[in-house]
Chain A
């Protein structure tokens, strides 16, 4: 079956513009995660969705970042008034929710969106 799909694959924009990044999780996966990977770094957790609600937004770096999920499926990460430090690869992952929650469920990742702010 299809994996996690992210679009666009690459995005170049000018400083100060708003951008929207899209994630389409694996069908049936109710848990969805956004991570950010800056150049040469590991992945940094941004936000987690269970269904359409976000129990944990603790990783969002500033109020310029927001995310939503509709229909328990597609999620959009929006960055307003982009800054050069926002340049990174943004990765989305999804997982099932088992009897023990998401703890023993592997996260399946998309190919990410490479965001470059000029």
Chain B
């Protein structure tokens, strides 16, 4: 079974600085997707970025980028020029196969990001 581990319960960053959130996962699959979701106090899960395992190039979305190390099964999220609105819980997720081309997400336990003004 696949597992996702986030070893940092909480991280803090100064506004305008850069922070990296860590995620490792375990799988025997060779092709898969990985995601980072943001959950502000409103509870809604917002997709931040996704990475396809067969793509060697790291995904980027504006100030958000990932460092995907397939061999090490590591998928970290880098937030550049941190803003107060980035403060939230961040969850790493792995796409896990169900059946018949259907998938579910397996989530890590989350990292709470605090942004200091």
Give the secondary structure class of A's interface.
strand
Contact of B105 among A43, A101, A104 (CB under 8 A): A43
Instruction: Pick out which of these stretches binds chain A: B12-20, B60-68, B70-78, B92-100.
Output: B92-100
Known: A106-B50, A111-B42, A111-B44. Is A42-B103 also a contact (CB below 8 A)?
Answer: no
Known: A31-B102, A103-B33. Is A42-B109 also a contact (CB below 8 A)?
Answer: yes
* Contact string against A for B residues 86-117, beta-carbon threshold 8 Å, 1 for contact and 0 otherwise: 00000101010111111111111110000000
Give the secondary structure class of B's interface.
strand
A110: interface (CB < 8 Å): yes
Q: In the complex, which residue of chain B has the Cβ closest to the Cβ of A49?
A: B102
B47: interface (CB < 8 Å): yes
* Contact string against B for A residues 46-65, beta-carbon threshold 8 Å, 1 for contact and 0 otherwise: 00101000011001000000
Contacting residues, chain A, for B35 (C-beta < 8 A): 106
Q: Are B102 and A55 in contact (CB under 8 A)?
A: yes
